[in-house]
Structures are given as C-alpha cells and as structure tokens.
Structure 1
Amino acid sequence: MRPATAVEMPLHGPSSPVLHAPSAASPPSWTAGDPVARWLAACRCVGGRWSVRLELRGGPRVRDDLDLARAEQDRLLALWARRDQIGHFERLGLAPTGDGAAIRRAWLETCRHLHPDRYYGKRLGAFAAILAELFDRARASAEFLADPRRRARYLAELEVDGRDEVDTGAR
C-alpha cells in the first residue's frame, strides 16, 4: 500500500510536469483526484507553519492506544470542538474579571493542563495537534487579557452583549 502523500508524477527532474507544461509560465493543472491536489487542499498555514487540517482527515477520535486517558481525550475533544465559540476568559476557565492576578493564576493553571511539555514523549496521535492549537489560543488569550486597556474594552463589550456567564470547565 502506498502512503497517502505519494505523488503520481515526480515534481522535479526530466519527467517533471512543470518542465513539460505547455507554457513555462502556467502551472500544471491538477485534477480533483490528484494526490497533490488533495494534500494541498487539506493544508493550512497557522502561525507561519503549515499543517494538515484535522477536520479534513475525518477528525480526531477517542482511541485506547494513546497515552491519554479516555476522560482526558473526551475533555480535549469537547474543548477543541468549541474552540471558535468561546471567548478569552472562557479559554482560561475564568469568569470575566478585571483582576490581573486572577488572570495570571488562570493562565498558569491552563498551562498545567495544556502545555506541550506535559505530554513530552507520550503517544498522542491527532491530539498533539489539538493540544498545540488549544495552547496557542490560550496563550493568545492570556496575552490579550494581560493588557489592562484591551481587557477593559473587552469587558465593556461583554457587558454590552450580556455575556457574563462562563463555562469554567473550559480548561
């Protein structure tokens, strides 16, 4: 069985489709069934690094052969599924507050659960990408809330929208 990233035609060398294209200025035409086209469609750039989008690979599933407890896998999947709907305070598992020390404590607690070093050397499968994304989002939220002026504006927006309640199980 060939790997999913195998390319039917070499991209470099004398038989390269780029070298034998009708016009050197026009790129080769990829068909929908072409492995390269499928691979490129599944990739995205996050923070300057390219990665395969998990949604396009069928999404992560709870598995018994990983070094994560099933409850931990369920918790990470639930948080990852809601990653675009939760706000800065929820990402840190904190009720909206203007207290910088409380935000710092919540960030440190979130680090304890999501930091990549906690899982060093463990078999994580697709959960490695989930943890990296969740940690990056939590870090961005902590940096955003660390600035008192941005935090004050954000709290005012939350008050206007009436979103005072928070799911503290977000960590």
Structure 2
Amino acid sequence: MRPATVVASPLDGPYSPALLGLSAATSSPWSAGEPVARWLAACRCVAGRWSVRLELRGSPRVSDDLDLARDEQDRLLGLWGQGDQIGHFERLGLAPTGDDAAIRRAWLETCRQLHPDRYYGKRLGAFAAILAELFDRARASAELLGDPRRRARYLAELEAVVRDEADTKAL
C-alpha cells in the first residue's frame, strides 16, 4: 500500500476527492479493494462534520439473537427506513416550533434513546450501523434547530413548501 498523498483541492461534497486522495489529473493512490480506500470511500459530511457512513449489506432483519427487544428493533428499522424523507423537527419528535427549551428537551430524549453509550457491550449486529446513522442525523438536526438563525431559515422554507402545496391544490 502506498502512503496517502496531499491533494490541494477543497472539500466539495460528501464523497470528497480530497479525502479520497483524488484530483482531476491523477488517479487514486490506492486500488479500490484496499481497506483504506474502502474506508475513505465511506466517509461523508453531516452538518459540516466528517464521519464514516456504515453501509449495510442487504436489508437488516429483526432477530432474536441480538441484545435488543424485537419492538425496539422494529422501531429502529422504521426510523432508519424513513431516511431523509422526514424533516429536522420530525427527527427529534417535535412539531415545528421556535421554543429553544422544547428543542433541547427533545434532543436530550433522542440522545437517551439513540446514544451509542446506551448500547455499549451489547450484541447489535447490523443495528450498530443503524444506531450510528440515526444518532448522526439527530445530532445534525439538533445543531440546525439549536441555532436561531438557521432555525428561522428552515421554518421559512417549511412555510414556503406549505404555501406551494396549498397553491397547487387550489389550482
């Protein structure tokens, strides 16, 4: 395996060429099957923070062999299956609000349910990746909603979508 090379291109997306060691003029310093290349290809940006996205092979299934109750597994699969189809407020279990205290309480409750330390030492199987992704998404939502300016912009976007849907139905 050759050492990584420094690339002077900016980070420009979830699968950044700079992180992958790629530029427009050069090819990857690693072959696609090498562990480092696979790990770097799994990196993604969530709310300005880089993390490793764990891809699941196939569809995760509810199993009695894990240290999670079946109803908890069903709940996690349901949340994970919604992916990016739900908004930031829904991800934290809130109705759209500007109340900082309500957002903080919802974030703490979400942490209590999804934080990786809650599941330390348990057999989770594919649910470890699901929990990591759900927690990353919830953290990104809490950070966005916790900033008053970003929350105001987001609420304005939500109102614009509602107005557009109302206008479309009126036609």
TM-score above 0.5: yes
- Partners of 2:85 and 2:132 lie apart in 1 by 18
- Partners of 2:118 and 2:27 lie apart in 1 by 48
- Partners of 1:70 and 1:96 lie apart in 2 by 31
Q: Deviations over 1:91-133 (max 9, x none)?
A: 1010000001100000001011000111111100010111011
Task: Please give the residue correspondences for 1:64-143 in structure 2 after superposition, counting only pairs within 5 Å.
Answer: 64-143=64-143
Q: Which runs of 5+ in 2 are unaligned?
A: 3-25, 164-171
Bigger RCO (CA 8 Å, 6+ sep): 1
- Partners of 2:38 and 2:86 lie apart in 1 by 29
Residue of structure 2 aligned with 1:53, choices 52, 55, 64: 55
Q: Which runs of 5+ in 1 are unaligned?
A: 1-10, 13-24, 164-171
- The 3 A distance-change label for structure 1 pair 154 and 49 is closer
Moved over 6 A (4+): none
Identity %: 73
Q: Deviations over 1:45-103 (max 9, x none)?
A: 1354545511xx11211111000011110110111011211111011010000001100
When the two structures are superposed, what TM-score results if normalisation uses the length of structure 1? 0.68
Alignment coverage as a number of residue pairs: 135
Q: Alpha carbon RMSD of aligned pairs, Å? A: 3.0
- Partners of 1:140 and 1:73 lie apart in 2 by 23
The structure with the larger Rg is 1
Query: Hey, which of these two has a bigger chunk of helix by percent?
Result: 2
